[in-house]
Amino acid sequence: MESTISKDNSGWWDGSIGYEIYIRSFVDSNGDGVGDLPGVTEKLEYLSWLGIDLVWITPFYPSPMADFGYDVSDYCGVDPIFGGLEDFDRLIEEAHRYDLRVIIDLVPNHSSSEHPWFLSSRSSVDDGYRGYYHWRDPAPSGGPPNNWVSHFGGSAWTLDEESEQYYLHLFLPEQPDLNWNNPKVIQEFDEILKYWLDRDIDGFRIDVAQGLVKNMLMPDNPTRFPITEDMSPRQVFAAFDHRYDLDQGGNLEIFRRWRKLVKPYDALLLGEVYLRDNDPNRVSRYVNSGDALHRAFYFAPMHVPWDPQSMWDTFRDALDAAPEDLSWALSSHDDPRAPTRFGEGREGKQRSLAYSTFLFFLPGLPFIYQGDELGLPSIEIQREDLADPVATRNADETDGRDGARSPIPWEKAHELGFTTGTPWIPMGDRTHEDTAEHQRITEGSWLKSYKELIRIRGEYLDPNTSLRWTSSRDSGVLAYRRGDTISALNVDTDDSFILLPEGEWEIVFQVGVVTVEFNEVTFGVNSAAILTLIIE
C-alpha cells in the first residue's frame, strides 16, 4: 500500500529537520543559571554544523514563571531573564545568516493570571475584559460549574471570592483560559502574530492547539473509568472523555484565519495537537483540509512501547490518516527522554538512535529535542530540587517533567559549560563524555552518528516521494520505501529479516548489526538501517 503525497501544506519546511530549544536549559550567557537568547545565538554555529534547518524556541515572553514561560503576561516582549528585544532581533538575524529558520512558541489557550487582560477582567463583573476569559457562577448546588479537571491536577475552576464567580484554567490557576468565542480575543492575536512576523520570524509552534475553543454550554465531560485517590494528574485527566473542553470544531476556523494571515510572510503553522487517545484521525483534521495548520505534532510515537505490534499500530494508522503532514519527535520537554523510555543505559541510547533512523525518513517534519543528539537520558531529581509545578503541587510527583529539562552539557568546564553560575535545575550525573565538546571529536559518538544520519537524509531522501511499506504487519521489522531509499527498524526481541525489492541495494547508514546477503537483510536486536538503490 502506497501513501499519497499532497502538496496543499508544502513549503520551505519540506525536507527540513527541526530542533527544539527549551530555552531555560540550553545555554546561559550571563551566569544567572538560566538559559537565554544570547546563549542560543552563541550556539547557532553548532546547530548549523549538526545539519539542523529549523529551530523552535520555547516561550521567552515576560512571565511570572509559574509554568516557566507558558504563563505569558505580555505577548509582545521578552522577559529580562532571557534578554531583550534587541537580543531577539540579533538571534533572528544570525540564524538567517546560518540559513536556519526560527519558529517561536505561541501560547494562545491561556495567559498568565498577571496579564493586564486578566487583572482587568478580575476587577469587576462589568469590566470590558471580563469576556476575554471564562467566568461562570457556581453550580446550583455550589462548587465548580462543571466536572472539568486540570491537566496539572485538581479542578479546572478556581473561585474568585470577591466576585463569587469561578474562572476556567485547564492548566494552573495562574494560567486562566482565554475565551476564543470572543471576537476581541481573536483580533488581539491577529496583532500578536503580525508583531512577531514583522520581526522576521519564520512561523509559530502553537501550544495546546486542540484546546482553544470550548463548548460554551460547558456540560460535564463523561467519565471513561472510575477515578481513585492514588491516580496521578495525568491518569485523572485521562479518566474523562474530553468531549466539551478539547478538540472543538471552532479550532479549525481560528487556524484557517491564521493561515491567511501568515501566507504573505511564507510562515509555518505547526500545532501541538495533544489528544489523550492519540487518535490519528482526530489529529489529521487539523491538517487534512489544506487550509488550516501546515503540520501537526503527533505524540503517540513518544509513548509507544518497544514492541512490533504497538509500533505497527502507531505508524500504519497515523500515516493512513495523514500521509504527509504530521510532525514527529523522539523526545520533548514534557515527557521522559527517549533513552530513559527505551530502557536506560547503552540499550536505551541505541534504541533511540535506531528509532530516529526510522522517524527521520518518514513523510512530514521530524524534530530533535535538545540533547537527543547527545544520547542524553532523563536525570533523577531529588525532592528538594523539584521545580515543575506538576510535581511540587501534587502529592503524586510521577508526572513531573524536571528530569527531561536538565541543562545541556557543552564542555569540560564549570557546570559542564552551561553556566558560570548555579543552574536553575541540577545538571544531574552528566559527565565530560556526555558533552557536545567531547562527542564532536569522538568517532562513533551519538552526536557524530546523528550528524551523519541527518547528512544521509539530506543526500538521499527526496521529500516529494510517497511511502510504501516493504514489510508486513506481522514482521518484527518496520520497513518502508520512499523512492530509492528504504528505512527499516527492528523492534523484535530477536534477529529478524526482510526481503528487498528488485535491484541492488546498499546500506548507507546503520545502527547495531545489519547485514545484506543477496536480497535479504538481517537485523540484530535494536538495529536499524537506511538502504539506497544503486542498480535497478
pLDDT tens profile 277-314: 778 999 999 999 999 999 999 999 999 999 999 999 99
Catalytic residue among 53, 105, 207, 492, which?
Answer: 207
Q: Which of 7-11, 57-61, 236-240 has the lowest mean pLDDT?
A: 7-11
Identify the residue whose cell numbers are 567531547: 438
Share of the chain above pLDDT 90, in %: 95
Taking a C-beta distance cutoff of 8 angstroms, is the pair 436, 408 a contact? yes
- What pTM does this model have? 0.97
Query: Cβ contacts of residue 279 below 8 Å, gap of 6+?
Result: none
The model's confidence at residue 398, banded by pLDDT at 50, 70 and 90, is confident
Catalytic residue among 20, 79, 177, 272, which?
Answer: 272
Question: What average pLDDT score do residues 261-269 get?
Answer: 98
Task: Give the span between the Cα atoms of 517 and 505, in whole angstroms.
Answer: 10
pLDDT at 522 over 60: yes
pLDDT at 48 over 90: yes
3-state secondary structure of 168: strand
Mean residue pLDDT of the chain comes to 96
Q: Which domains does the chain have, with CATH numbers?
A: 18-108+182-213+248-456 (3.20.20.80), 116-168 (3.90.400.10), 470-535 (2.60.40)
3-state secondary structure of 184: helix
First to last CA, the chain: 21
Q: Is 334 a catalytic residue?
A: no
pLDDT tens profile 78-91: 999 999 999 999 99
Q: Is 272 a catalytic residue?
A: yes
pLDDT at 344 over 90: no
